[in-house]
Structure 1
Amino acid sequence: MKLQFLGGVREVGRSAVLVNESLLLDYGMLTGNPPQFPVSAPTPEAVVVSHGHLDHAGVVPALLSGRDRPEIHWTPPTQELALTLARDTLKLQGGSYNCPFTENDVKRVTEVSRTHGYGESFEAAGHEVTLYDAGHIPGSAHVLVDDGETRLLYTADFHTTDQRLVAGTTARPDADVVICESTYADVDHDPRAEVERRFAESVKTTLWEGGTVVVPAFAIGRTQELLLVCAAHDIPCYVDGMGQGVTRMLRRHPDFVRDADALQRAAGHARFVSNPGQRTRIADQNAAIVTTSGMLSGGPAMTYIPQIRGNPVNKITLTGYQVEGTPGRSLLETGSAEIDGRVMPVSARVESYDFSAHADHDGLRAFLQSYENARVLVGHGDRCAAFATELRADGFDATAPELGEIVEH
């Protein structure tokens, strides 16, 4: 089996792995200004997309811009999420970069789309492929690829611990080679129940003091998790941005969430912001506002934060990983954020909560116990080489491929 790593190694973003020059696993972007794309433009016979986040699915429509029309395989939620992201990317692109796909490319996606449930084997570019629940977001999948000689497990993003929205992965299919993510390979998450308790207490304290809490959250997965948390702790909340549409969509796929009834109750508990003109008034409300973008790089959050930033009673609770160079990272490190092109000081309190949907160090090691005899290729992380070194010290055949590298097995 021949593997070429076109992105997503020794970095978090633009995941793309070409298998046997014919089957592409993921095709994402690395968010930034400008964003970065995989290092080459492959022409695969088929594509399998692990899940609907930008760094894995963000530039899939670009694969349809030429004469080739590779089939695209994914779960039903991943298809809908990828299309939502593609339309949003087209809408948001400005003069800073040229979007690598067009509206026509996005329309073509549905023509070549093939959806699959977990555990259903299918043929793609001459390979037998099976998707397994990865426990990351609804519809996320481990991808098992069998070319008749080698069984490859591409973990993509995964979590081994239950979240309110999705249960942790329990799938451990046999494999000869494992491409394993390592986003939090050097971190141990606090117990989720403890993180949730601290978050709820902090938000309730601010509301009791008469303040407003802006909760920047990724639209896909994180927004719905936080709506479930707010409902469980009876925290009054609004939801704004792309997360509204994603929440409605996920309610149409009850088989891909842990508790469909709980998600329905959480959506009913939240107030959906239907009119952007409401935002100024909502910013003065005694409530939590769950809104995109999760890294403050745009979206309604950048309307709410200027409104609440000057009052130290108010609070901004960051709930996800803040990529270096984003306004969210700057806010955490400096207490200031770039808003509408100007760096503004923020007097509101800023807190960070680890609601990660990725396995931590212990979760990764527990998962890999099932693959002690497999070859492990470490990717999707800032310290891939260090984790591979740790694994080798414990007897694993582990390496960390470099960008563009070809690995044969």
Structure 2
Amino acid sequence: MNPKIIHHGALDGVTGSCHQLFIDDANSLLIDCGLFQGAEVSPDGKAASDQLDIAFAVDKVQALVATHVHIDHVGRIPWLLAAGFKGPILCSEPSARLLPVVLADAFALSISRDQQLVERYLKLVESRICPLPWKIWHTVFDGPQGRCRIRLQRAGHILGSAYVECELSRPGQSPLRVVFSGDLGAPYAPLLPAPQPPYQADVVVLESTYGDRNHENRRSRRDRLQAVVEHALANGGTVVIPAFSIGRTQELLYEFEDILYRQRLRPGKHAVQWASLPIYLDSPLAGRFTQLYRELQPFWDAEAQARLRAGRKPLSFDQLIAIDEHPQHEANVRRLARSGEPAIVIAASGMCAGGRVVNYLKAMLHDPRHDVLFVGYQARGTPGHAIQTHGPRGGYVDLDGERITIRAAIHTLSGYSAHADQDGLVRFVTRMRHPPAEVRLIHGEAAARQALAARLVEVGKGAIRVTNAG
């Protein structure tokens, strides 16, 4: 049995994840339903900003599985519901806590800020969410022509992220195991256990975001993070970190708490400055998710649990200052831009396409005292990608119609990516007890997919067929 899979997104890029797995000739399962971002387009060639409507029939879609709650995986759920989808939204237990907050924010930004409408929409979403425990099989559909059950496993990308094992059965045929990777996390990521490969698979639908490169190791990236901050300390400037509200922000807070802790134990030459350095979390949404992360401590990994037992506060240390109200935000931008007070600012959005980080960038990019630090993927067509690409060469970026020459120092730490690198992706496939006969690559730009395909063919010694999905 060759599984029929239609990819409605994340086919030629890294956003808009949406994959339809057919159980029989009519009934299907949807894996994710995310927004397109930046310059990426949908499979029918429409621009990201135009591709919101669901362009496929949903009456026989039995369930939606949300691998995790990043907007490029769940952001089109409002349009899926509007298209008539009636099934459950299956996800992990932590994702079930996080998802309503993500969707309420997306609804307010994209559709309406009317509080009554938001609340009605949230009640509808919450009535559909069906949390599943890890590692337990759940039957999605059982009909005369086909049966499907799924099992969620930890993916290590953000809290609650999962890869999905799907077992398809049809009369007179052997069961077929299809694995959707979702977004796989890097090993040794703060707060999260590393993903463990499944025991077996026949087909793996595998992300390839960083399929052409490997990340720094954890100690190296922490040392570089500290070095970037100390560069700004010496200059009397601010380190601006555009960060995604879910996952990356919490990992950075965890790492900064560790640097502060180590500076107290073994003071370095900047220890006095570290001891008084304010770390601003200027994103109400990131603040809400950080609070939810604290409440979901039972799902943290062993290292984080040990720090809690030792009396440390990885996500609520004393030098962390949350900025909620917009007037506070505006005042902080003005003060840091003028004063030369050393500080760290973590603000959304992660690709600088909107949100409070844009105000910091407009005020600081022209000033060489400041530093901008990228710790996540910057999709083509986003301001973040332009700053990352042109900033080191003294170029410019357009923000809110204003052209700004980039004189601030621009840094990129790939080690803080929440995605597995090439080695991690290869290990996910090759360390299965019974490796797949086929790997279909999604969620990556062309060069990344090609490099990963070549590596998988090489290490699989020709036993694994690797294709671009589609």
**What TM-score do the two structures reach when normalised by structure 2?**
0.79
Q: CA deviation at 1:366?
A: 1.6
Relative distance call for 1:386 and 1:315 in structure 2 (3 A) is closer
User: Contact conserved, 1:121 with 1:128, CA < 8 A, in 2?
Assistant: yes
SS of alignment partner, residue 314 of structure 2: helix
- Counterpart of 1:52 in structure 2 is 69
Which residues in structure 2 correspond to 1:67-86 (within 5 Å)? Answer: 67-86=84-103
Where does the alignment leave 5 or more consecutive residues of structure 2 unmatched? Answer: 39-47, 143-147, 170-174, 261-273
User: Contact conserved, 1:64 with 1:105, CA < 8 A, in 2?
Assistant: no
Partners in 1 of 2:122 and 2:199 — Cα distance?
33
Partners in 2 of 1:59 and 1:93 — Cα distance?
10
- Counterpart of 1:406 in structure 2 is none
Relative distance call for 1:192 and 1:35 in structure 2 (3 A) is farther
Which residues in structure 2 correspond to 1:142-221 (within 5 Å)? Answer: 142-148=163-169, 149-221=175-247
- Counterpart of 2:456 in structure 1 is 391
Q: CA deviation at 1:280?
A: 4.1
Q: CA deviation at 1:61?
A: 2.9
Alignment counterpart, residue 41 of structure 1, candidates 50, 53, 56: 56
Deviations 1:127-170 (CA, angstroms, capped at 9, x unpaired): 21110001111000010111232111111111241111212112
Partners in 1 of 2:183 and 2:384 — Cα distance?
22
Relative distance call for 1:181 and 1:66 in structure 2 (3 A) is closer
User: Contact conserved, 2:202 with 2:435, CA < 8 A, in 1?
Assistant: no
Partners in 1 of 2:287 and 2:230 — Cα distance?
23
User: Contact conserved, 1:375 with 1:398, CA < 8 A, in 2?
Assistant: yes
Relative to its length, the structure with more helix (as a share) is 2
Q: CA deviation at 1:50?
A: 0.5
Deviations 1:262-306 (CA, angstroms, capped at 9, x unpaired): 584332331111322223443414210111111111111012222
SS of alignment partner, residue 456 of structure 2: helix
SS of alignment partner, residue 233 of structure 1: helix
Matched, 1:266 2:315: yes
Paired amino acid for 1:374 = A
Number of aligned residue pairs:
397
Superposed CA RMSD in Å reads 2.3
Matched, 1:347 2:373: no
Deviations 1:343-370 (CA, angstroms, capped at 9, x unpaired): 2113221111111111111111122112
Deviations 1:52-71 (CA, angstroms, capped at 9, x unpaired): 11111111232222444111
Partners in 2 of 1:332 and 1:10 — Cα distance?
21
Partners in 1 of 2:37 and 2:228 — Cα distance?
30
Q: CA deviation at 1:389?
A: 4.6
Which moved further from structure 2: 379-388 or 358-367?
379-388
Where does the alignment leave 5 or more consecutive residues of structure 1 unmatched? Answer: 96-100, 403-409
Partners in 2 of 1:38 and 1:181 — Cα distance?
24
- Counterpart of 2:291 in structure 1 is 248
Alignment counterpart, residue 156 of structure 2, candidates 130, 135, 138: 135
Which residues in structure 2 correspond to 1:296-315 (within 5 Å)? Answer: 296-315=352-371
Relative distance call for 1:68 and 1:9 in structure 2 (3 A) is closer
- Counterpart of 2:420 in structure 1 is 359
Relative distance call for 1:46 and 1:323 in structure 2 (3 A) is same
Partners in 1 of 2:12 and 2:406 — Cα distance?
33
Relative distance call for 1:40 and 1:390 in structure 2 (3 A) is farther
SS of alignment partner, residue 45 of structure 1: strand
Partners in 1 of 2:186 and 2:389 — Cα distance?
30
Which moved further from structure 2: 47-56 or 377-386?
377-386
Alignment counterpart, residue 342 of structure 2, candidates 286, 309, 319: 286
Deviations 1:227-277 (CA, angstroms, capped at 9, x unpaired): 111111125311011211110111111132222555843323311113222
Percent identity between the two aligned chains: 29
**What TM-score do the two structures reach when normalised by structure 1?**
0.90
Larger Rg belongs to = 2
Relative distance call for 1:373 and 1:353 in structure 2 (3 A) is closer
Partners in 2 of 1:267 and 1:35 — Cα distance?
40
Deviations 1:34-81 (CA, angstroms, capped at 9, x unpaired): 164587334111111101111111112322224441111001332343
User: Contact conserved, 1:62 with 1:105, CA < 8 A, in 2?
Assistant: no
SS of alignment partner, residue 238 of structure 1: strand
SS of alignment partner, residue 55 of structure 1: helix
Alignment counterpart, residue 32 of structure 2, candidates 7, 18, 26: 26
Paired amino acid for 1:53 = H
Partners in 2 of 1:320 and 1:307 — Cα distance?
22
- Counterpart of 1:407 in structure 2 is none
Partners in 2 of 1:341 and 1:220 — Cα distance?
28
SS of alignment partner, residue 297 of structure 1: coil
Paired amino acid for 1:19 = L
Matched, 1:376 2:439: yes
SS of alignment partner, residue 81 of structure 1: helix
Deviations 1:383-406 (CA, angstroms, capped at 9, x unpaired): 23553354345311221122xxxx
User: Contact conserved, 2:187 with 2:194, CA < 8 A, in 1?
Assistant: yes
Relative distance call for 1:28 and 1:42 in structure 2 (3 A) is farther
